[in-house]
């Protein structure tokens, strides 16, 4: 039997690799998508082979990740439950897409992942596989009773790794798990499962990797200019950059100023709540700047229509429906809304804060001659507002008259 395993080199996938090899008597091809883990990939191939893989495939997918996944999602203004930048969620469809392609090329019998049966990632991996390669079998060890019986908790996994000389970063002293990519790094489980636990305390500062704490950020602000074209950031400080380099540049700037830290209790797709701590320095800057560009260039009704779809779009990404017809349909609408979202946004970064310092665009819908409080009658006659208000107040006056005459508004009839 041949299995392609989504492999990160962390505790879970390292243990899963060895367990699959022993229990399925299978040849394991470890696949790692390089989507911005940076130093975490050092020595990964050697580690996978020593853990039991017959082959380790590491592919640089960073540019594709930024161009075809992160940027379209940010055009949509996606933000799950008004807080989460969807860093883990948006990475999974790309990883799973490449996994099934490798499985076909290697003539593998199945793909496998180390996602738990309580989380969202299992859904994201498997919905992507179903959409792109429904004939490929998926193995999820965490949903097998024999696996859970052997590993009821992380302590047993750490002990197993130690016994089998599998080097992992997790330890009894550092029990939380992490997931890193170009957009963010997430922290969850272990000590973080207590929502009262303060993840911003001084003793936890060593946990963070992409940003300094706002308290430790520079005492002086820094300005950055972001140039947009068609809803995508194409320039930083006047220099034209690829989507990948835009993200890398903004990550460094945001991390330097303590920007993009989010600590939330979110609603998982499987039904329970989960606590996650995230660092998204570049994503936070990009999301904020993009919105500022839209305020200047998007028609009001188009903006409100798109905004009404943000919760649905974000939910689709979070729940794993990236390769679904409804997400693709929404993306087509988003693309149309972004046609004129072009121009320049200037931001000021200071101790965890993103402050708008200016915005301009050749396609701006803001006209100072109309917006001015001065008495310019040719562009806008303030007297016209009288009829506008009278028409909008008509139903309110009718209702008020009915109430004053002793009529019912319907409340007492229920």
Give the pair of three-digit tokens for residue 391: 């028409």
For position 408, what pLDDT does the model report?
61
**What's the pTM?**
0.93
**DSSP-derived 3-state class of residue 27:** strand
Residue 266 contacts residue 80 (beta carbons within 8 Å): yes
Tell me the C-alpha distance between 97 and 65, whole Å: 12
Distances (CA, A) of 288 to 215, 256, 346, 348: 21, 17, 11, 11
**DSSP-derived 3-state class of residue 348:** strand
H-helix or E-strand spanning residue 186: strand 185-188
Distances (CA, A) of 182 to 65, 89, 348: 8, 12, 23
Which residues does 265 contact at the CB level (< 8 Å), separation at least 6?
195, 273, 274, 275
The bridge status of strand 261-267 relative to strand 239-240 is unpaired
Helix H segments across 220-376?
Answer: 243-256, 281-297, 300-319, 325-337, 368-371
Catalytic positions, please?
A: 12, 92, 121, 177
- Could you tell me the strand order of the sheet in which 353-360 lies? 239-240, 232-236, 222-229, 343-350, 353-360
For position 376, what pLDDT does the model report?
61
Give the pair of three-digit tokens for residue 414: 């229920």
For position 414, what pLDDT does the model report?
54
**DSSP-derived 3-state class of residue 133:** coil
- Tens digits of pLDDT across the chain (414 residues): 999 999 999 888 999 999 999 999 999 999 999 999 998 899 999 999 999 999 999 999 999 999 999 999 999 999 999 999 999 999 999 999 999 999 999 999 999 999 999 889 999 999 999 999 999 999 999 999 999 999 998 889 989 999 998 877 665 556 678 899 999 999 998 889 999 999 999 999 999 999 999 999 999 999 999 999 999 999 999 999 999 999 999 999 999 999 999 999 999 999 999 999 999 999 999 999 999 999 999 999 999 999 999 999 999 999 999 999 999 999 999 999 999 999 999 999 999 999 999 999 999 999 888 887 776 666 788 888 999 999 999 999 999 999 988 766 555 555
Tell me the C-alpha distance between 55 and 64, whole Å: 24
Tell me the C-alpha distance between 265 and 368, whole Å: 43
For position 407, what pLDDT does the model report?
63
For position 11, what pLDDT does the model report?
87
The bridge status of strand 232-236 relative to strand 137-139 is unpaired
For position 177, what pLDDT does the model report?
80
Length, in residues, of the chain: 414
For position 382, what pLDDT does the model report?
86
Tell me the C-alpha distance between 336 and 322, whole Å: 19
Tell me the C-alpha distance between 188 and 277, whole Å: 6
For position 171, what pLDDT does the model report?
57
Least Cα distance to 283 among 120, 36, 84, 89 occurs for 84
Least Cα distance to 361 among 293, 274, 261 occurs for 293
Which residues does 32 contact at the CB level (< 8 Å), separation at least 6?
6, 7, 8, 9, 41, 44, 48, 56, 57, 58, 59
For position 190, what pLDDT does the model report?
85
> Which residue in the block uniquely carries the two structure tokens 């390669």?
133
């Amino acid at each position: 039997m041949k299995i392609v395993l989504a492999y990160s080199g962390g505790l879970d996938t390292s243990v899963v690799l060895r367990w699959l090899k022993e229990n399925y008597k299978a040849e394991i091809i470890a696949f790692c998508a390089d989507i911005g883990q940076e130093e975490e990939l050092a020595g990964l191939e050697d580690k996978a082979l020593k853990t039991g893989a017959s082959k380790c495939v590491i592919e640089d997918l960073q540019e594709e990740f930024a161009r075809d996944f992160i940027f379209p999602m940010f055009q949509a203004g996606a933000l799950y439950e008004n807080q989460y930048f969807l860093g883990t969620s948006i990475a999974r469809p790309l990883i799973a897409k490449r996994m099934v392609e490798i499985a076909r090329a290697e003539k593998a019998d199945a793909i496998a992942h180390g996602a738990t049966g309580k989380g969202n990632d299992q859904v994201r991996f498997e919905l992507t596989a179903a959409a792109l390669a429904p004939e490929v079998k998926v193995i999820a060890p965490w949903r097998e009773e024999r696996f859970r019986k052997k590993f009821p908790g992380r302590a047993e996994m750490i002990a197993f790794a130690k016994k089998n000389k599998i080097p992992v970063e997790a330890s009894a002293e550092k029990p939380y798990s992490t997931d890193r990519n170009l957009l963010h790094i997430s922290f969850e489980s272990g000590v973080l499962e207590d929502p009262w636990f303060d993840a911003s305390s001084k003793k936890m500062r060593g946990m963070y990797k992409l940003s300094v704490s706002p308290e430790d950020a520079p005492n002086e602000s820094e300005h950055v200019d972001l140039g947009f074209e068609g809803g995508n950031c194409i320039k930083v400080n006047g220099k034209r950059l690829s989507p990948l380099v835009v993200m890398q540049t903004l990550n460094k700037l945001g991390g330097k100023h303590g920007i993009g830290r989010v600590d939330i209790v979110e609603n998982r797709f499987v039904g329970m709540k989960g606590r996650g701590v995230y660092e998204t320095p570049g994503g936070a800057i990009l999301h904020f700047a993009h919105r500022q560009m839209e305020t200047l260039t998007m028609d009001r009704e188009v903006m409100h229509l798109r905004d009404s779809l943000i919760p649905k779009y974000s939910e689709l990404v979070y729940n794993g429906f990236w390769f679904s017809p409804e997400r693709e349909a929404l993306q087509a609408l988003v693309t149309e809304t972004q046609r004129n979202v072009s121009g320049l946004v200037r931001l000021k970064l200071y101790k965890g804060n993103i402050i708008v310092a200016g915005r301009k665009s050749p396609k701006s819908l803001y006209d100072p001659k109309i917006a001015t409080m001065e008495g310019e009658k040719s562009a806008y006659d303030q007297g016209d507002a009288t009829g506008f208000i009278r028409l909008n107040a008509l139903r309110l006056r009718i209702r008020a008259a009915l109430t004053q005459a002793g009529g019912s508004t319907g409340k007492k009839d229920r």
